[in-house]
Amino acid sequence: AGVILHGVCYDFFFVTGFMYTDNKAPKEVRGQAQALLVFFTQGLGMFFGYWIAEIKFEALRQQSDALSAAIETTTFGFWESFGKMFLAQKPEVDASITQAAMEGWKTFWMFPCFMAFAIALVFAITFWDKYKEEDPNNPAQ
């Protein structure tokens, strides 16, 4: 879910936002407009995103801690850890602990997925633009 969410957010919000800003901003202030977009998306957006994620994670901490405690871990060296990385072996853990953690993480990821969908919908409805070719005689483009 996280990889899919990252792809949607990156494509729709970052790349499209930069393209839209580059197309709409006058040539004299394009750099400042791009910097402002970065400030809003990767500055304020990340700040509030991490803040909300921390609040939502606190509800999962008990299940995550229980799952971490139930999984016996051994410290391995680099090569031993590298070799075990490709094994499909899962740790033996009580199914109820795993189920509780899985349900919690499902809920955790659904909120940003719905938010991304809602913002993509708003974006699709409000920011569509017919492409206009640049006029070489107009330096303001």
Instruction: List the pLDDT tens digit at each of the 141 positions of the chain.
Output: 677 777 777 777 778 888 888 888 899 999 999 999 889 888 998 899 888 888 888 877 887 888 877 777 677 788 887 877 777 666 677 888 888 888 888 888 888 888 888 887 887 888 766 666 666 676 665
Secondary structure letter of residue 136 according to DSSP: T
For the chain, the structural domain boundaries read 2-126
pLDDT of 33 reads: 92
Question: Does the CA dihedral 85-88-92-98 come out positive or negative?
Answer: positive
Spatial separation of the C-alpha atoms in residues 44 and 41, rounded to whole Å: 6
